């Protein structure tokens, strides 16, 4: 009898417990389901950088050689970027706004009357990443010359670029092709002899890059900046009959041959990360070094070298230029 009573008590307890569990489950099912919030694509991520470069000379983006090739230049640049939109699934993937400032100092003893502080550039713009691999950028870019004559110290420019990121292909070399349009609105020709306003040039280029950190675990990146710059002939020489624009030939007073191509350039640049000795919380520090080769093919660019302290006559102009550079910096 005790066994029967114990079995009956166990069954009764089981029935009561199952009912309680059922009631508890039903009550839980009746509770409202809390929705999982969807992350907003609107963000506010801040990035910045600081960079110092020492160079033996400078060739501008338009192909103008500014200094003798044995100069000592110091170029200091700082910049800030704000990511304001990120969406990896949509057509527009990323939007960021950016700005920066760059200064160039002539450390080698300049000619009499020439200031050590040569130029200050500043810019502001926007980058839009779309279709996963493309980036479109637009920026306002001003060149400020502190040693220029009053009223002629700033060139007002705009730059537009379209770049393609081919890293998704998984090749050992990423080519990073791009095309950019530089528009000089006003403030004087950026290549001396060209139109003083409403002028433009186009750059077709690529930056073949090898990242040794990904492939071999060495914190080294090398790339080969390569481009060609073309423009309407009046970008290089306005041909208005003024003595300055008639500065070619052995006598420095002949017309310059017309042409659309300005120059070609290629080089080898390296950057070594200091992530080992310098903690990441202090920024991503690096050292860099490189060499860049320019071949000037436009006579007007060669003639323009007479109007600074790179050369004194057309015959002495340099069509082949080698620039050596090095420096350091950090980003965050």
More confident call, 100 vs 39: 100
Distance CA 231, CA 1 (A): 109
Residue 8 clears pLDDT 70, i.e. is over it: no
Q: What is the pLDDT of residue 200?
A: 98
Model confidence pLDDT, tens digit, residues 224-247: 999 999 999 999 999 998 888 999
Model confidence pLDDT, tens digit, residues 85-111: 999 999 999 999 999 999 999 987 666
DSSP code for 140: E
Distance CA 84, CA 122 (A): 21
* Alpha carbon 63 to its chain's center: 18
Q: Quote the mean pLDDT of the chain.
A: 89
Residue 283 clears pLDDT 90, i.e. is over it: yes
The two tokens of residue 13 are 């307890």
Residue 45 clears pLDDT 90, i.e. is over it: yes
Contacts of 325 (CB under 8 A, 6+ apart): 53, 54, 55, 56, 288, 289, 290, 291, 292
Distance CA 244, CA 211 (A): 47
Model confidence pLDDT, tens digit, residues 50-62: 999 999 999 999 9
Residue 113 clears pLDDT 70, i.e. is over it: no
Q: What is the pLDDT of residue 109?
A: 64
Q: With bands split at pLDDT 50, 70 and 90, how would you rate the model's confidence at 22?
A: very low
Q: What is the pLDDT of residue 153?
A: 83
Q: With bands split at pLDDT 50, 70 and 90, how would you rate the model's confidence at 32?
A: low
Model confidence pLDDT, tens digit, residues 152-197: 689 999 999 999 999 999 999 999 999 999 999 999 999 999 999 9
Model confidence pLDDT, tens digit, residues 287-326: 999 999 999 999 999 999 998 878 889 999 999 999 999 9
Residue 67 three-state SS: coil
Residue 15 clears pLDDT 70, i.e. is over it: no
Model confidence pLDDT, tens digit, residues 268-281: 999 999 999 999 99
Distance CA 154, CA 186 (A): 9
Q: With bands split at pLDDT 50, 70 and 90, how would you rate the model's confidence at 151?
A: low
Q: All domains of the chain, ordered by start, with CATH? A: 42-331 (2.40.160.40)
Percent of the chain whose predicted confidence (pLDDT) is above 90: 77
Report the b/e string of 173-205 with b at 16+ CB within 10 A: ebbbebebebebeebbbbbbbbbeeebbbbbeb
DSSP code for 302: H
Model confidence pLDDT, tens digit, residues 205-226: 999 999 999 889 999 999 999 9
Residue 21 clears pLDDT 50, i.e. is over it: no
CA atoms 170, 82, 131, 228: torsion sign: negative
Q: What is the pLDDT of residue 31?
A: 55
Q: What is the pLDDT of residue 248?
A: 93
Q: How far is CA 119 from CA 12, 76, 114, 155, 237, in A?
A: 93, 11, 12, 11, 23
What's the average model confidence in pLDDT over 248-259?
90
- Residue 3 burial (C-beta neighbours within 10 Å; 0-12, 13-18, 19+): exposed
């Amino acid at each position: 009898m005790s066994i029967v009573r114990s079995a009956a008590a166990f069954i009764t307890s089981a029935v009561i417990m199952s009912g309680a569990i059922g009631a508890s489950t039903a009550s839980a099912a009746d509770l409202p389901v809390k929705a999982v919030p969807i992350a907003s694509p609107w963000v506010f991520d801040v990035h910045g950088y600081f960079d110092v470069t020492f160079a033996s000379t400078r060739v501008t983006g338009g192909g103008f050689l500014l200094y003798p090739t044995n100069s000592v230049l110091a170029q200091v640049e700082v910049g800030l970027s704000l990511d304001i939109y990120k969406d990896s699934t949509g057509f527009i993937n990323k939007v960021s706004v950016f700005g920066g400032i760059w200064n160039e100092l002539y450390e080698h003893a300049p000619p009499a009357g020439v200031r050590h502080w040569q130029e200050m550039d500043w810019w502001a713009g926007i980058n839009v990443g779309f279709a996963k691999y493309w980036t479109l950028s637009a920026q306002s870019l001003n060149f400020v010359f502190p040693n220029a004559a009053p009223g002629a110290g700033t060139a007002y420019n705009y730059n537009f670029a379209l770049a393609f990121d081919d890293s998704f292909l998984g090749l050992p070399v990423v080519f990073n092709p791009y095309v950019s349009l530089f528009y000089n609105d006003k403030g004087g020709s950026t290549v001396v002899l060209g139109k003083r306003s409403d002028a433009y040039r186009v750059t077709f280029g690529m930056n073949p890059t090898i990242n040794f950190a990904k492939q071999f675990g060495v914190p080294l990146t090398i790339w080969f900046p390569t481009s060609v710059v073309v423009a309407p002939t009046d970008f290089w020489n306005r041909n208005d009959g003024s003595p300055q624009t008639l500065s070619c030939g052995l006598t420095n007073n002949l017309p310059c041959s017309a042409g659309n191509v300005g120059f070609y350039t290629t080089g080898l640049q390296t950057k070594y990360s200091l992530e080992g000795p310098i903690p990441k919380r202090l920024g991503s520090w690096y050292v860099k070094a490189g060499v860049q080769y320019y071949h000037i093919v436009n006579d007007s660019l060669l003639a323009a070298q007479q109007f600074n302290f790179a050369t004194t006559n057309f015959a002495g102009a340099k069509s082949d230029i080698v620039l050596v550079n090095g420096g350091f910096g950090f980003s965050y």
